[in-house]
Amino acid sequence: MLFHIFSSQDERRKFGGSYFIEIQYCSLDPGTAMEQIVSVDAITHWKDDSLYIYGDDEEAFASQYGDVLTDGTYNNGQSGIIDTCGINYYAPHQIHVIVKRIEEMRPSSHQMLLAWLKKVREHNGFYVLGL
């Protein structure tokens, strides 16, 4: 299984400490400046409603989802391929394209990510926070 959900942060720590890529909802208000959204200061790690990818699965995640999660905005304001060591922000207007790619490509554990993405409409996009 590529993605993990934990019932508590204690459970996550027992499984793998902090050695995870975290896929996290963005809770900042719509209309927040991009500079603030991708700021290191705006990020609070280890949310209970996040999806987690264990660090040993980083290569598998990047190879299977690299063509799905493109054009995320980095901390420096640039965008491009997924950065598994940094901040990647995906705005609400990007979600439809991401979901379509997942449905077409059907990478490993895609059902779990699709179910998680259904709730992204309640938020201001999402992050992929690297190791």
Residue 89 three-state SS: strand
What φ, ψ does residue 20 adopt, rounded to 5°?
-140, 150
Distance (Å) of CA 79 to CA 11, 48, 69, 87, 119: 33, 27, 11, 10, 24
- Cα distances from 98 to residues 57, 70, 123, in angstroms, run 21, 8, 16
Q: Cα(67)–Cα(131) distance, rounded to whole angstroms?
A: 19
Q: pLDDT at position 1, please?
A: 84
Complete edge-to-edge strand list for the sheet that includes strand 20-25 = 51-54, 20-25, 126-129, 87-90, 72-73, 79-80
Write the pLDDT tens digit of every residue in 19-69: 999 999 999 999 999 999 999 998 999 999 999 999 999 999 999 999 999
Structure confidence at residue 17 as a pLDDT band (50, 70, 90): confident
Residue 60 is predicted with a pLDDT of: 96
Tokens at 56, concatenated: 């040993």
What pLDDT does residue 131 have? Answer: 84
